[in-house]
Structure 1
């Protein structure tokens, strides 16, 4: 009988990596949980005063690149060493978080935000790689379970601190985030030991190898140029629709024009018998594993809806939800423990709006629910197939978004968040497992490396849709219920399309 895994069986580097993860997540979620409130907040109250459309572009584009970069930064870490990459990430992140509170124009704030994304993208693959290298087949399951718990502990604590300090000044939110990252210099310098890495081997993974793998899995350079062009049109169009510089009809025409240009260029290359030119630019577009690419696109629909808990919900709570019922519940708790009315009054007045609960505290119930229930949910879905769990997890997300349609008071909004959390606990972990199931058996690790690209697309689409729909339905029409209904429909459509994908493509191929 195999001995049980004990906490003391994990080496020091495992615990150091998890500790750094807590502080990094405190920094990220301490900012990101209140980012929508800060970006669109009134200048007179310390906010940036940007439009909802600009806010959507900022959040969507930056997080899109955050989830793309690890493919490259992971290769750099393999080549030059994990410890050096962590140190470089912290050197970037500390000033980047600080400058988020200093820069007040769209271009400068975008620059600081992008630097945060670069630093976080350098940090993410190194920590995951460290956990992988210091655990074995016997301990990896428990090791990653502990890691996921640490992620959510950091995600839970960060917004609480941010909510407290923003009552003093928004500046302290960014100083706190920079401070959490600065603490990690102590751990990486004094306690982190380099795990076994390719940096010490004869054949470290090169960037050229990364690009070759990318072509095999997703497509060649021409295909990426085509897709990137469409995304640029989408992003720039979204940015300039707020001041009517461009309309969505014009964006569609430009997109069609870009598609036609690429098709004609491929036809010309074909006639010239130059389908595989000397350079990537003179080669025809080539799609890699179209089945996997389609899966990433369909899963991006789930992440588009999922991300609204951070993009849209804080604004919705601020602008449309009466949370005084939650504050009265807090008062009852104070009375139960015999705490004075003066202490409760002090707590109530510490909120951004006295008598109302801060939005970041309410959405923080998501991280709290995951900390409390993830192990239990994982146990119950162990015997279910990955696809079944993803499908029903997404359906539960649809239910949660439908609850928010009626969420004009605190308790209904809380119900929507809690239900949403259970959907996330089912769908998110199992989507990675499903990726391993649909990948070619000999290339599972390679395909898993690109799983987060569906998260990247979900962040991009989610950010842009959040900005556009909140502006159109919540701000201009005062009908946020229609906005939540649209997000629920997107989640439902994603679930149905993933069902068809599993039935008609994956099972048919197998």
Structure 2
């Protein structure tokens, strides 16, 4: 096959929803990585959180994004990709704007009514609702809106879009921080993802494919997650105990939990998870090191 023939296959092998979804993915990733790269500085410089509190809040932001993604695929299947993408970008636009406005005067009554740590933690969870819907929608659109002979290239294009957005995000955040102020990083990315909301409404059409299986229910996704997790009857209660301890320490910073309790909880969790989860735990180490440059520097 000649280059021109292959190029023609690629040109005609993808439907319009494929290109729309992947173009919006660039802006979603740019917004996410730009927001995350600026978060530690924002929490410390503008909101005066301590280093320990900043680490906890950035962990909430990133952790909720990846946890809710477990259920995002099932939700996107049931809503439909067009509706799910529209909701996702609308939620992301509002969430990023709210993060950038935490210190604004119009939110002062809310800040005074509840502990600032709980308020900020809640606000940082909101973007996860949008991010968890975007990825399954774009991946699913890539599968449905591409012909069999170019589908592998379609996934390559998708990951290229992700990498472009991921590379540009911190660069944009650095420029916006210097010229506009760190709080305006979030307002600008909010405008970017809100624009993608209108792009989806105007140009994205629901991709359909003959023979599609009925979407799984949330209950089925939860059962599958428990199977993948391993001994969930052991792991989930221990995770709940660890979470409750962390919440107590957040509310009562003068209290402390002995190190051996944390070590014991970790040992029980590692003993109960499956081999696949072990792989994820090991791979997570890379991302912990990667994000330290933005959290601690």
TM range, smaller chain = 0.7 to 0.9
Deviation at 1:16, TM superposition (A): 0.4
Query: 1:173/1:201 Cα in 2 relative to 1: closer, same or farther (>3 Å)?
Result: same
Larger CA Rg, structure 1 vs 2: 1
**Residues of 2 paired with 1:5 and 1:128: CA distance?**
22
Correspondence for 1:298: 282
Residue 126 in 1 paired to residue 134 in 2? Answer: no
Residue 162 in 1 paired to residue 173 in 2? Answer: yes
Deviation at 1:40, TM superposition (A): 1.4
Correspondence for 1:24: 28
Matches within 5 A, 1:208-219: 208-219=219-230
Correspondence for 1:252: 260
SS where residue 55 of structure 2 aligns? Answer: helix
For residues 100-136 of structure 1, the C-alpha deviation after alignment (integer angstroms, 9 at most, x for no partner) is 1222432222212100112111212111221222234
Gapped runs of 5+ residues in structure 1?
42-46, 263-285, 316-510
Deviation at 1:56, TM superposition (A): 0.8
Q: Is the contact between residue 30 and residue 158 of structure 1 (CA under 8 Å) also seen in structure 2?
A: yes
**Residues of 2 paired with 1:15 and 1:103: CA distance?**
35
Deviation at 1:254, TM superposition (A): 7.0
RMSD: 3.1
For residues 185-215 of structure 1, the C-alpha deviation after alignment (integer angstroms, 9 at most, x for no partner) is 22111111111269x9673211122122223
Query: 1:115/1:88 Cα in 2 relative to 1: closer, same or farther (>3 Å)?
Result: same
Correspondence for 2:98: 99
Higher RCO (CA < 8 A, seq sep 6+): 2
Q: Is the contact between residue 60 and residue 124 of structure 2 (CA under 8 Å) also seen in structure 1?
A: no
Matches within 5 A, 1:462-501: none
Q: TM-score, normalization: structure 2?
A: 0.81
Correspondence for 2:63: 64
Q: Is the contact between residue 90 and residue 193 of structure 2 (CA under 8 Å) also seen in structure 1?
A: no
Q: How many residues align structurally? A: 278
Correspondence for 2:52: 53
Q: Is the contact between residue 85 and residue 134 of structure 2 (CA under 8 Å) also seen in structure 1?
A: yes
Correspondence for 2:291: 307
Residue 39 in 1 paired to residue 43 in 2? Answer: yes
Correspondence for 2:6: 4
Deviation at 1:48, TM superposition (A): 1.2
**Residues of 2 paired with 1:230 and 1:294: CA distance?**
21
SS where residue 71 of structure 1 aligns? Answer: helix
For residues 45-94 of structure 1, the C-alpha deviation after alignment (integer angstroms, 9 at most, x for no partner) is xx111111111111112211211212212101112211111111122111
Gapped runs of 5+ residues in structure 2?
104-115
Correspondence for 2:185: 173
Query: 1:139/1:239 Cα in 2 relative to 1: closer, same or farther (>3 Å)?
Result: farther
SS where residue 138 of structure 1 aligns? Answer: helix
Q: TM-score, normalization: structure 1?
A: 0.49
**Residues of 1 paired with 2:26 and 2:11: CA distance?**
19
For residues 134-158 of structure 1, the C-alpha deviation after alignment (integer angstroms, 9 at most, x for no partner) is 2344323322222222222223333
Query: 1:215/1:152 Cα in 2 relative to 1: closer, same or farther (>3 Å)?
Result: closer
Correspondence for 2:121: 110
Please identify which structure carries the higher helix content. 2
Correspondence for 1:73: 72
Q: Is the contact between residue 61 and residue 125 of structure 2 (CA under 8 Å) also seen in structure 1?
A: yes
Q: Is the contact between residue 96 and residue 127 of structure 2 (CA under 8 Å) also seen in structure 1?
A: yes
SS where residue 127 of structure 2 aligns? Answer: helix
**Residues of 2 paired with 1:297 and 1:25: CA distance?**
23
**Residues of 2 paired with 1:304 and 1:158: CA distance?**
18
Residue 182 in 1 paired to residue 194 in 2? Answer: yes
**Residues of 2 paired with 1:139 and 1:219: CA distance?**
36
Q: Is the contact between residue 60 and residue 121 of structure 2 (CA under 8 Å) also seen in structure 1?
A: no
Q: Is the contact between residue 24 and residue 154 of structure 1 (CA under 8 Å) also seen in structure 2?
A: yes
SS where residue 149 of structure 2 aligns? Answer: coil
Query: 1:183/1:246 Cα in 2 relative to 1: closer, same or farther (>3 Å)?
Result: same
Query: 1:305/1:168 Cα in 2 relative to 1: closer, same or farther (>3 Å)?
Result: closer
Q: Is the contact between residue 13 and residue 134 of structure 1 (CA under 8 Å) also seen in structure 2?
A: yes
Q: Is the contact between residue 95 and residue 126 of structure 2 (CA under 8 Å) also seen in structure 1?
A: yes
